[in-house]
Amino acid sequence: MIDFQSFVDQWKRMPDSSGNTYLTLNIEHPLRFQVGYHTNGHKSLAVMQVNDFVPIDIPSSYAITATIRPLINGSKVLEFQLTHNSFEEIFLRLCWDMIDFSATAENPLKALVSRYLSWQKLLQRAGDSVLSKSAQKGLIGELFYLQDMIKHFGKEKALLSWTGPNGGDQDFVIDDFWTEVKTTSAASDTVTISSLEQLNQAIPGTLTVYKLEETTPGENSISLTKKANEIRNVLNGDALSLDRFEIKLLMYGYKRNDEEKYNELQFRFISRNDYDVNENFPRLTRENVPHEIIKCSYTFSLAALEPFRR
């Protein structure tokens, strides 16, 4: 599979055009792709010959439209078009990620569409600005944990285990173990579980709680941009791992164009505590709440969880 920059370089061979002009991508993949410009002049990724594809309602967003259109020869094309040029970074990353994700799938076309659907949360709010303070803090906690995973399991396996950006119920799942990461303020003595699924696993796992305190810039302070750059430095030299890391950041809504803004909010690391989530751990799941309850969140007292702390 080619890395992201090689993918973009192939796209750059296309001259800007308002005509219906396409170039076939030269990549190893069970599907055939073309990139170019649709008749309306929009950048487009076309997945060729999808005649056997079972039609579903593929949603569009503010920034990207998805359509299935017929060709003169009777075959059908699944096409993704960029409709607002200000979101070109997201569009190019999305196209590369769909191709990369589906390359080794048992059903490549189904996997590609599934991957597109997993981007919808980001695409639907593509016009939003930077992440909120709480979202930045939460992502910093996951990046702290990812650093440890890379040290213990290596780059590829650690990035594969980071399932939170893909909409996974838990933030990290690896082999027969899982971890849900929470980040709270230094003064907080509680942590909130936002769904019935977050701690709902038959196998034992971990609830990892980081505490961060907002502070002024300094040698020991950390920002979301600084933490992301630390991991980029670790991944440097491994183009595919670096590309997959950037995709996961983007799926959380973190755009590189906003990195200066993210440096405005600085934190100080206070602590990390790990709690064993086993059969005795107090938690709400689908199995132990009335079936009439379909959605809820609940809050733990960290002091009360002391018996489960490692």
Q: Are residues 179 and 261 located together in one domain of the fold? A: yes
What pLDDT sits at residue 18?
57
- Give the model's confidence band at 154: pLDDT under 50 very low, under 70 low, under 90 confident, else very high: very high
Chain centroid, CA 281 distance in Å: 29
Residues 6+ apart with CB under 8 A from 277: 180, 199, 201, 204, 205, 206, 207, 283, 308
Mean pLDDT value of segment 14-36: 81
Greater confidence (269 vs 63) lies with 269
> What are the C-alpha distances in Å from 257 to residues 87, 126, 141, 183?
11, 13, 21, 25
- Are 162 and 285 part of one and the same domain? yes
State whether 48 and 18 are in the same domain: yes
Work out the angle between the directed axes of helices 239-251 and 88-102 (0-180°, nearest 10): 120
Task: Evaluate the CA torsion angle 253, 152, 221, 227 in order and state its sign.
Answer: negative
Mean pLDDT of 92-103: 93
Question: pLDDT tens digit string along 168-181?
Answer: 889 999 988 999 99
- Quote the CA–CA distance of 183 and 69 in Å, as a whole number: 46
| 224 and 297 both lie in a single domain | yes
Least confident segment among 27-31, 87-91, 197-201, 302-306: 87-91
Q: What number of other Cβ atoms are within 10 A of residue 36's Cβ?
A: 20
Q: Are 228 and 258 in contact (CB under 8 A)?
A: no
Whether pLDDT at 124 is above 90 = no
CA–CA distance, 288 with 276 (Å, rounded to integer): 19
Q: Count how many domains the chain has.
A: 2
The secondary structure of 221-255, three-state, reads CECHHHHHHHHHHHHCCCHHHHHHHHHHHHHCCCC
Structure tokens at 297: 């969140």
Q: What is the CATH number of the domain that holds 119?
A: 3.30.1460
Residues 180 and 290 reside in one and the same domain: yes
Beta bridge partners of 191: 300
Residues 85 and 46 occupy one common structural domain? yes
Q: Which residue segment(s) compose the domain that 279 sits in?
A: 133-308
Predicted TM-score of the model (pTM): 0.85
Tokens 């990290």 correspond to what residue?
172
Which band of pLDDT confidence, cut at 50, 70 and 90, is reported for residue 126? low
* Pick from 92, 28, 129, 34: nearest CA to 247: 92
Query: Looking at the predicted structure, is the pLDDT value of residue 17 above 70?
Result: no
- d(C-alpha 310, C-alpha 160), whole Å: 25
| Cβ(246)–Cβ(5) below 8 Å | no
Considering 72, 94, 124, which residue would you say is the last residue of a domain? 124
